[in-house]
Copies of this chain bind each other. A is one copy, B any other.
Amino acid sequence: MMNLNSRPGRIGTPCLACPLRMKPAFEDKTDDEIRFIQAMKTDHRSLKAGSDIISPDQESAELYTLFSGWAFRYKSLPDGRRQILNFLLPGDIVGLQASLLAAAQHGIEALTDVELCVFPRKRIWDLFVRMPNLAYELAWLGSREESMIDDNLTSVGQRNASERIAALVITLYRRADALGLVSDGSFDFPLSQQQLADALGLSLVHTSKTWSKLRKAGLFTISGGRLTLLNPRLTARMAAVYEQSKAPRPLI
């Protein structure tokens, strides 16, 4: 499923004018910092939906920032069962764990067509030496990802099927909203039910039944790959999720 459609022509796209960085979801950076990031970036890569970004057991992975599209991290058992660990949206760091630990313990796959900013693994060390503030923010982003996995683990371990779906929907909604991807309560929702099931720790059939039960209950509708959240309040209450911080976060 590899599809390395590199477009070196876009390497030159100035990070100073990065449209993602303009969004209010992200913290401001100094020009110095942005220039450093730009110098660290060696490629701007496009991959088709379904491609491996990092394959399981890959050694020495590159580090990426997801520029556009969705991806997910997953872990497989020897017999084929698969757990989706978390979803990645634009601005998220991709492959930090794999870069630091040297041997990836998981795979990362493009959920939609994606564009990635590529940072070679070797330069991460440079970043720690020369840009402690960026290093700190990298660690911050790592902790943020861990926090999201904590939430998923709590969901899968403690919530029932309906609650898990409600929690996933409201969480993705909020994340999409922070990126300005929500309009009129609806946003692109590219997950198949198999992927939903793998993320929720449920069977495909049970996911389908619960999914349609919640639609019939009026929580949300889905059509044309877009999800419309009709009742955010009820959805959040059903999921028993807490508010999340809306403060801007670092973008590297």
By a beta-carbon cutoff of 8 Å, the part of chain A in contact with chain B is 73, 75, 77-79, 81-83, 85, 96-97, 100-101, 103, 105-106, 124-125, 128-129, 132-133, 135-136, 138-140, 142-147, 149-154, 156-159, 198, 200-201, 240, 242, 245
Given A135-B128, A158-B201, A150 contacting B101 (CB threshold 8 A): no
**Contact present for A157 and B158 (CB under 8 Å):** no
CB distance from A51 to the nearest CB of B (A): 21
> Which residue from B100, B103, B153 sits with its C-beta under 8 Å from A153?
B153
**Contact present for A157 and B156 (CB under 8 Å):** yes
**Contact present for A139 and B103 (CB under 8 Å):** no
**Contact present for A150 and B100 (CB under 8 Å):** no
Give the CA-CA distance A152 to B245 in the complex, in Å. 25
Q: Which of A101, A105, A125 has the most CB of B within 10 A?
A: A105
**Contact present for B240 and A75 (CB under 8 Å):** no
Give the CA-CA distance A44 to B105 in the complex, in Å. 34
**Contact present for B157 and A201 (CB under 8 Å):** yes
> Which residue from B81, B139, B147, B149 sits with its C-beta under 8 Å from A139?
B139
**Contact present for A153 and B158 (CB under 8 Å):** no
**Contact present for A150 and B82 (CB under 8 Å):** no
Give the CA-CA distance A100 to B135 in the complex, in Å. 12
Q: Given the complex, which residues of B lie within 8 Å of A129, measured CB to CB?
A: 132
**Contact present for B139 and A138 (CB under 8 Å):** yes
**Contact present for A149 and B153 (CB under 8 Å):** yes
Given contacts A132-B135, A149-B153, 8 further A-B contacts (CB under 8 A): A75-B154, A77-B158, A128-B133, A139-B142, A142-B142, A145-B146, A156-B156, A158-B201
Q: Given the complex, which residues of B lie within 8 Å of A245, measured CB to CB?
A: 103
Q: Given the complex, which residues of B lie within 8 Å of A147, measured CB to CB?
A: 97, 101, 105-106
Q: Given the complex, which residues of B lie within 8 Å of A158, measured CB to CB?
A: 77, 81-83, 201
